[in-house]
Structures are given as structure tokens and as C-alpha cells.
């Protein structure tokens, strides 16, 4: 693979790692993992190339003009930043998705929630159901449904005066909006979440700590290389739009939520 592939990335997407099989990218908020159907291209998509919805892959060209599929192993919401795992191999894509299904790929997110968990560590298990209404899909917890979403959490920093906490979230499953719904359903909405969050508190956060986006970041991913079997670990540190509000949160002397 040559450096010409970098020119295909959205201008704000950063390369973390690349070899002949894997491509690990750091996506900023506002960039979509792939175009919304039926469009095959989008100016705010991860890659500036046509997306094949049947293959779940972009079609890209290397420096020699060779046409290659770039498979998305998983996706991130538009407003979520952080690591996305991609592969150039159909066999590797199948193997990695199988590894995800069997919980052999570890992912950790960092999130600031408005509230403090009762316990510093634990596991959330829920039944999540996707619903559509007024042209927009949303996800709710179905208390009578089968458990299909599981997330381990741990409190990394607690801000008692502000009534907030920085959590490490490790999803064992990959349901749509899973982390956002599981936190919100426990009265721990993610700071800045404009769909499931506390809208009044989000407006206050702009003035109090300068947070102007959702504080949810795909921080770490660990896996075995689908070809070599070597264990790999990648991280994407918080950028200034998150790290600076986080430090201001530490000095905040008033509660964010009334």
C-alpha cells in the first residue's frame, strides 16, 4: 500500500496504523463512517470514494490504479470520535467480524456522563429496540425484551462538585447507539449528546467548560492480527475539544444539572 491512499481520506481523519491487511483510522466528530443510502459518496464521509452497501466496503485505488475494497469492520456514530478498524481483505473482514461476534476484539470508549454511577465498576445488560418515527430512528430500552446489549463500565475520574464522571466503557456487543442509550437510561446521559442527553445541561456545558460536542470517544482497540495472529493494541488520545473541557470540569465548583 502506498501513501496515495491518504489522499482519499476526509481531510480531518488521521491514520493510526496501516499494513497490507489492516487500516486503523482516527475519525473526528462530524464525519460519517459511510454515506447514507442511497448516496454512494458524501463530502463528510470517512473516505472520498464510492461505498458499496452490499459489500460494506469503499472502493479505493492505490498508487498503481489498482481498485481495492476497503471494508469497515465496525462503525462509529457521526458525533462520536476515535478509532475505526478497516481492512483491505475480504477474508480478514469476515475473520474480524467473527472475532467481534465472539468478543475477541476489545474496544474501550471514554465518556463524560452527567451523574455519578452508584458503583465504580460494573456491567450493564439491557434489551435495546430500534424504533422509527417522524423520519428518524431512535433506540429504547425494552424491559420485557431479550438481553442483547452488554457493556462493562468503570469510573476513571469522578467530579463530585459538578455531579459528573469520566467513564471507561467496554461494549461487549455492538448495538446501534448502545452506549448512549445505556447511560441515558440510568440517568447518566453523556455530556453533549443531543439525541438522548440532557439538553438544558448541554447548553450550560458550553459556557461552563467550553464543551461543544458529545463527549464520547473510541479510545482503545485490541485484537489479534487476522493474518499473523500477533496481538495489536491501538489508542487515540483525546483531542483538545475534549481534553480541555475535561480539565475545566475538574475545577468546576457547581453542579451541571439542576
The residues that are catalytic are: 77
Q: How far apart are CA 252 and CA 230, in angstroms?
A: 44
Torsion over CA: 64, 66, 23, 213 (sign): positive
Cα–Cα–Cα angle for 209, 214, 216, nearest 5°?
A: 110
- Residue 71 is placed in which grid cell? 471494508
State the pairing for strand pair 106-113/164-171: antiparallel
Q: Which of 216, 233, 214 is nearest to 225 (CA)?
A: 233
* DSSP 8-state code for residue 3: G
Q: How far is the first Cα of the chain from the last one, in angstroms, to the nearest whole number?
A: 53
**Alpha carbon of residue 123 to chain centroid:** 19
Please tell me the distance from the alpha carbon of residue 74 to that of residue 105, in angstroms, as a whole number.
Answer: 11
Amino acid at each position: 500500500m502506498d501513501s496515495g491512499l491518504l489522499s482519499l481520506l476526509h481531510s480531518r481523519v488521521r491514520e493510526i496504523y496501516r499494513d497490507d491487511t489492516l487500516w486503523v483510522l482516527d475519525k473526528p466528530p462530524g464525519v460519517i463512517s459511510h454515506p447514507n443510502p442511497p448516496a454512494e459518496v458524501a463530502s463528510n464521509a470517512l473516505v472520498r470514494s464510492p461505498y458499496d452497501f452490499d459489500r460494506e466496503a469503499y472502493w479505493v485505488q492505490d498508487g498503481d490504479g489498482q481498485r481495492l475494497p476497503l471494508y469497515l469492520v465496525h462503525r462509529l456514530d457521526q458525533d462520536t470520535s476515535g478509532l475505526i478498524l478497516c481492512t483491505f481483505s475480504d477474508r480478514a473482514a469476515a475473520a474480524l467480524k467473527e472475532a467481534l461476534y465472539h468478543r475477541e476484539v476489545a474496544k474501550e470508549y471514554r465518556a463524560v456522563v452527567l451523574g455519578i454511577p452508584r458503583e465504580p465498576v460494573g456491567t450493564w445488560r439491557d434489551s435495546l429496540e430500534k424504533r422509527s418515527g417522524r423520519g428518524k430512528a431512535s433506540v429504547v430500552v425494552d424491559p420485557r425484551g431479550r438481553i442483547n446489549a452488554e457493556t462493562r463500565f468503570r469510573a476513571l475520574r469522578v467530579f463530585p462538585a459538578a455531579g459528573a464522571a469520566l467513564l471507561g466503557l467496554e461494549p461487549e456487543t455492538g448495538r446501534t447507539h448502545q452506549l448512549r442509550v445505556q447511560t441515558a437510561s440510568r440517568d447518566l446521559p453523556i455530556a453533549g449528546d443531543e439525541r438522548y442527553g440532557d439538553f438544558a445541561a448541554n447548553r450550560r456545558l458550553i459556557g461552563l467548560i467550553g464543551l461543544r460536542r458529545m463527549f464520547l470517544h473510541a479510545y482503545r482497540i485490541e485484537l489479534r492480527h487476522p493474518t499473523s495472529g500477533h496481538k495489536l493494541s491501538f489508542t487515540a488520545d483525546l483531542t483538545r475539544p475534549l481534553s480541555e473541557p475535561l480539565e475545566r470540569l475538574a475545577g468546576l465548583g457547581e453542579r451541571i444539572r439542576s
